[in-house]
Amino acid sequence: MSATPTEEQVQETPTAEASSAPVTAETTADQSSAVEEAEHAFAEDDLSIPEDVPSADDPSSRATSRSLDDAGFTLDEFAALLSKYDYNFKPGDIVNGTVFALESKGAMIDIGAKTAAFMPLQEVSINRVEGLSDVLQPGEIREFFIMSEENEDGQLALSVRRIEYQRAWERVRQLQKEDATIYSEVFATNRGGALVRVEGLRGFIPGSHISTRKPKEELVADFLPLKFLEVDEERNRLVLSHRRALVERKMNRLEVGEVVIGTVRGIKPYGAFIDIGGVSGLLHISEISHEHIETPHSVLNVNDQMKVMIIDLDAERGRISLSTKALEPEPGDMLTDPQKVFDNAEEMAARYKKMLLEQAEEGEEALGTMMV
């Protein structure tokens, strides 16, 4: 709209000339003519909306849409790319995360979810830790196990202990498969035996599989060689044997037919347990003498020193079988003259080995005849 003055404004607004010249009839006529021309020009202005202006409902009034043909990817590819970053976390998943805050009750972990995940202190490690900073550092990137669905705040619960637990059982199963001997520290004892840790898992050594002269209570903090007896993740049972480890070590230096000096450590109705250099062997009642014996107590006493011959080595069961019967020069000498058995032990053992060798050769000849 043009800024055309009204008649009153024209009349009221003095000009430089009007202030110095008197108003005449001609001046008034000129002013009236100027007002009429201004009003005529204002009336001729076209203030209507042009017909070619589109409405808001007309698509042509919007920004021109462009085809994605030249974008370098299709809509499906674009959707797939978006879904790649649409994380769907579920319990049991193992994900990478970054530690960004350590708190008194746990750690805050960034795993790319909408809300930071939380790992409670008890889930930090399979081993007991005093503080989070002992095992975690801000900015550290590692794997985490998702324990549960999101809570009402959209937060996930994480664990490192679960991952270590799974991998510890895998490692223990492999060690058992390899029939490995391990060393572990006793951290507690009870009426049944001793407790140790293997790969972070709690293991139990039954009292019958502890082979030492020490009282059980004094084993705490001792490192013992151990063999696996039972590995059962489902039942959470890890049972080990100290005796088997010692027997195997001793067996590597022993052979059937060898004579060794031992000490009677215990007597049972079925026989006596003989300590032969740190491991225990069984002298069964039937292997004490050629003569019939009612009870081992009638022949043997605890702490007796004697010579025995090894007649069997069972590495799998961790057992050593012994005999004095094979060392008797005459049947019944263990009952009447045990010193004679002691003095002639090596000679009798040599005869025993020769007999075994002859039996083996006869067996091979018989087998060869049968095959022919």
Query: What tens digit of pLDDT does each residue of 129-165 get?
Result: 877 888 888 888 889 999 887 777 778 889 999 999 9
The predicted model scores a pTM of 0.55
Beta strand extents in the chain (DSSP E only) = 94-102, 106-110, 117-120, 141-146, 158-159, 182-189, 193-198, 201-206, 223-232, 237-241, 259-268, 271-275, 280-284, 305-314, 319-323
- What is the three-class DSSP state of 32? helix
Partners of 316 in beta bridges: none
Q: What is the DSSP letter of 282?
A: E
pLDDT tens track for 304-325: 999 999 999 887 777 899 999 9
Distance linking the first and last C-alpha atoms of the chain = 131
84 — phi, psi (to 5°)? -65, -30
What confidence category does residue 249 fall into, taking pLDDT thresholds of 50, 70 and 90?
Answer: confident
- What is the three-class DSSP state of 29? helix
Beta strands 201-206 and 223-232, pairing class: unpaired
Beta strands 319-323 and 280-284, pairing class: parallel
Contact 224, 189 (CB under 8 A): no
